[in-house]
Structure 1
């Protein structure tokens, strides 16, 4: 009973303690980007706490009990990536907001770690202001919508999910399915964010501050949302839906959508790779910062690859990784195809490097095992028996139960 009673009072019910950064000695500890991040983290945490407090209208929010830790997290049962999270813990008799981030999803993909820190700091501040019990009673859209909105991640989340829904007949409908649908997931974050943005659109940032203030005072979420715009909950739902549909529709762009459908249609048909290249390249130039530009950059490289232009395809896919990759869910696919291009171009060392990178930086990918197996086979073909065995042993150990593990086991036994 002690845990929920303490949490009802949030941060201010216990003696304050300095923010803490836990040491990290995991997979990316030697990465210079990771080392630089950890060195600057104490100041980054102070800035995040200050900035997110102001953004939420909680200038007196106490962030002294926030602990940060990098944790290498294994895959979930469905191979999903666990980005991290924020939980309330009791440590030495005091309430602590414990932020964890998974370096697998950041240092491997150049994702915006500062934005993710702001996102989790928002969760920590809100949990402290509301208390753990009241905070957990909030609908998922409220918790995630406020975090994405406050951290400034909203437009990027809209772009990302548009790239993931490019093959849907209506991407807008796929992304706007109701704030309180039964199976809330990261795919709902754009709609969550836009619900908060709808309050800001109607009443300015003061409206969002009033919403947060009412939540901190214990008002039910539906009542607080309705009060924030001066209408009923039903009217708020309608506003949030229409606002989300309009904003996602604007991001999609009617003309842009039509051009994309034409270009990807040519690519899928597979009859004229030159025309596919022209159409996709044109989109990447015309909409470089948009969802379609990111996708077109990838599929332009793939069209070159399908046309047998392995060296050019490799260069295009490397450009995709550097420029547009983090805005999509295709970075692991790009690395896999870079490996194939290197094989095709007669560069086995480059192929091994790409396949090893796939297994190292995208271990959550369904292609990771196949990549490591490819690298092992190339090493074996080059007479590097020990290097091949090391990769096969890793597959057996890390990917037990997969077809790649079974194949690797047989190869080791032969």
Structure 2
């Protein structure tokens, strides 16, 4: 059996953890630079707030309905997600973290659990008690059925946050009430094709001939149908392949019009990309730096530069120095820069790089180990390269940012007795 544990409106729930007075009230979370609504809890949806709508279009509606508006607090969400996953992982011998708010569990390598429903309820209570995050649990004989069960636990009344598909009657009951577009892996275009053929529910799809659907759609469709019927066809990779390219990009909260500000922004992204590079144990041979204004501007402009290292490296100082040297080739007077980024391409495994007998390897491995260790211990950017600036004016606009309660000393909650 497999289980899928999914947090309910995770971003909104995370905002409510340290604000109990917000529980039961409508909450939305905005995207980068407070652009669009990316998360809305049930109360906000009932108030008529739609996801992915630009905030300026719903601002007045939020004010009228008393909707609490939050900017994206990624530091808080990431830390609470880590804590939640640690609690979830205690309830099964195998865990696969699927996303920031979803985790698969496998019960195949453990003793038989007498009552999976009680086990799932205990999991929900533990996550709420230790993290104050509401989750739903779906259990099924395959990953796709676990996803379907989770959908039922969250959307179909009567399940109270837990759904276990361990018999044919329950499986048919859930799939018959599930839209075909809600099946894991079935996208919008495929949904439209299926509905044109009269396949509207998950149960109807499960009763199609797998081989015929494979010829008409793909092998993934065949696997999905077989999984809906309890045949295990999908799994998760125990070891993930290393990324072949690493990018760090961002749209600016304030337009950049000065060369030094552009240098600081690019150097910051160089540091982010270099940290990701070392995290997966890779080195970089080629660096790409780009910057431009908005494609919606009257005169869209974009600039790009490539730098090739004489020897593959992963040192933040070396990469930052190379980025800084390219800035004069990217900057143009009069251009109001909106989006910048750094890309590390042509990556290789750091353990298998052939050293050069006649040239020393650039960078300082011991320094970078200490650099990463301090940032892991004391929080992101506890130390950083001065080239990225101390108080940047170009940072992401987050007018409704809540405190970073768990990752910033100054934001620790204070209790007065």
TM-score greater than 0.5 by the shorter chain:
no
Question: What TM-score does the superposition give when structure 1 sets the normalisation length?
Answer: 0.25
Higher relative contact order (CA 8 A, sep 6+): 2
Structure 1 or 2: larger helix share? 1
Structure 1 or 2: larger strand share? 2
Question: What TM-score does the superposition give when structure 2 sets the normalisation length?
Answer: 0.25
